[in-house]
Structure 1
Amino acid sequence: MAVLTIEDVSKKFAETEIIKHLNLQVNEGEFVSILGPSGSGKSTLFSLIGGILTPDSGAIMLQGEKINSKTGSISYMPQSPSLLPWRTVLQNVLLSQELRGPKDEKKAEEMIEKAGLGAYIHAYPDELSGGMKQRVSFIRALLSPQPLILLDEPFSALDELTRLDMQKWLLSIWEENRRTVLFITHNLEEALFLSDRIIILSSKPAEVVADYKIPFKRPRAEELFLENEFLEWKREIYHKIKEVME
């Protein structure tokens, strides 16, 4: 069943076309990554889905309901953790439930414990490392009642080892919940490791130029990075992105 359907959506700023006749579908329980050149409109697309921007034409449908210009319909995790410094880890995690209801404090505590943050449940953000803050931010998104989570390069500011740890942790948590995720990244290996599908966008104005179904079985381990099939997929998608940029 389609959770998100984008039908013939276009958006321009002044005379510059950012997105043109874009069509995209994300099905229930899918983890879909979006790759494309810098400035190709990926973040603009997220702003359209989140209702911050209004498309010039076309429709954005969430579970069959048109949500053009409608805020609060999706859960969003930005590049920075965006935790409130005066709230504890638990209070930050519960924020989305407080806004949308109902609040499930027991579930939140269980998720914090599974994230390895049990000792920090009453700590404040300035007491956490970058990776720990991202875990809190993701748990908050995961516990939100909305049917779709948008992740906008959430690991881009982390060092390589922390980033890999976060990818593995995210997959382990996602496997248990199977929430529907649309994920922006510039990291090809990250997209291959995490995703069921990878969408390639063209340069501005953005449109979908490729939609790859990733065949790797789940659950996935980091040994996947060294397998020949993984490297073959990496080469194919790399050349597609390079072709788009030329």
Structure 2
Amino acid sequence: MSELVVKQVTKSFANKKVLDDVSFTIKEGEFVSLLGPSGSGKSTLFHLIGGLYRPDTGTFYLDGERINGKRGAISYTPQSPSLFPWRTIIDNVVLGAEIFAKPDVDQARAMLKKAGLADYEDAYPHHLSGGMRQRVAFVRSLLSPQSFICLDEPFSALDEFTRLEMQKWLLSIWEENRKSVLFVTHNIEEAIYLSDRIIILSNNPATVKREIQVPFERPRQEALLLTDEFLQWKRDIYQELRVF
């Protein structure tokens, strides 16, 4: 388990401020979604957490350790699955673990089975559908030794029904592992359905506009999406995002 603290982070590119005094905390085992308009700096924040960029000011702490500019501290799943086409599915999912130590292939096979991919471990990425490749990417994140996962709009390219199936699958797998997750999405419904808490960013330069504690108990069922309370939360957040 891991706790991430983002403290007073600012970042500019070409003299344009993208993030302005952003602060929040992701607790151990918490699933938090980051919601905001396009171009509000959500992906930039992920790149900073992952050590690809350094903040102009401010600090990132993971379990109390300062990780500014440190790569490899978190597991990161980008918008596209980013699987190596020359590696089999089993070889792709053990890649993160392989970098740090000898991977547990039996554990990897068990995770692929839970993901419904047991028959594809010796296949190559081009043999799989988009949803299946996303499952492989998430299994790879779970098998990586880092206990904090950043997911950057992993379902954005999927159709509505495949997306819902992936959301349900993600929750079922995450419930068993409970790694800390920061999830970027533009989809309000997705953020409510998946998350313990939602952090809403303002437009550029991004600041934390509001934090919402999602009131629904876990495990969550698909029927929740059509309840009056869920739809009211969706309307409230929609109005919040419209006012910038």
Contact 2:2–2:147 (Cα < 8 Å) also in 1: no
Counterpart of 1:10? Answer: 10
- Once superposed, what is the RMSD of the aligned Cα atoms? 1.0
Deviation at 1:65, TM superposition (A): 0.4
Counterpart of 2:240? Answer: 240
Q: Structure 2 matches for 1:193-232, cutoff 5 A?
A: 193-232=193-232
TM superposition score normalised by structure 2? 0.98
Amino acid at match of 2:70: K
Contact 1:33–1:191 (Cα < 8 Å) also in 2: yes
Q: Does 1:52 align with 2:52?
A: yes
Deviation at 1:109, TM superposition (A): 0.4
**Structure 1 SS opposite 2:37:** coil
Q: Structure 2 matches for 1:64-103, cutoff 5 A?
A: 64-103=64-103
Deviation at 1:101, TM superposition (A): 2.1
Q: 1:146 to 1:2 in 2, by over 3 A?
A: closer
**Structure 2 SS opposite 1:138:** helix
CA distance in 2, matches of 1:217, 1:197: 12
CA distance in 1, matches of 2:102, 2:74: 16
Report Cα offsets for 1:181-230 as digits up to 9, x if no partner. Answer: 00000000000000000000010111101000001011111100111110
Amino acid at match of 1:27: K
Identity of aligned residues (%): 59
Q: Structure 2 matches for 1:22-33, cutoff 5 A?
A: 22-33=22-33
CA distance in 2, matches of 1:106, 1:232: 45
Deviation at 1:232, TM superposition (A): 1.1
CA distance in 2, matches of 1:2, 1:207: 24
Of the structure 1 ranges 95-104 and 45-54, higher mean CA displacement relative to structure 2 is found in 95-104
Counterpart of 1:106? Answer: 106
**Structure 1 SS opposite 2:243:** helix
Contact 1:31–1:183 (Cα < 8 Å) also in 2: yes
Contact 1:2–1:25 (Cα < 8 Å) also in 2: no
CA distance in 1, matches of 2:11, 2:126: 38
Deviation at 1:102, TM superposition (A): 4.2
Report Cα offsets for 1:153-175 as digits up to 9, x if no partner. Answer: 00000111111110000000001
Gaps of 5+ in 2: none
Q: 1:140 to 1:82 in 2, by over 3 A?
A: same
Counterpart of 1:36? Answer: 36
Gaps of 5+ in 1: none
Contact 1:3–1:147 (Cα < 8 Å) also in 2: no
Counterpart of 1:132? Answer: 132
CA distance in 1, matches of 2:24, 2:135: 28
CA distance in 2, matches of 1:197, 1:126: 35
Q: Does 1:165 align with 2:165?
A: yes
CA distance in 2, matches of 1:113, 1:154: 20
Query: What number of residue pairs does the alignment pair up?
Result: 244
CA distance in 2, matches of 1:73, 1:233: 34
Contact 2:2–2:148 (Cα < 8 Å) also in 1: no
Amino acid at match of 2:220: R
Report Cα offsets for 1:89-147 as digits up to 9, x if no partner. Answer: 10000000000224111111000001111111110001101111000000000111112
Deviation at 1:2, TM superposition (A): 6.5
Amino acid at match of 2:123: A
CA distance in 1, matches of 2:101, 2:237: 41
CA distance in 1, matches of 2:195, 2:143: 20
Q: Which runs of 4+ in 1 moved over 6 A?
A: none
TM superposition score normalised by structure 1? 0.97
CA distance in 1, matches of 2:102, 2:6: 29
Contact 2:77–2:137 (Cα < 8 Å) also in 1: yes
**Structure 2 SS opposite 1:199:** strand
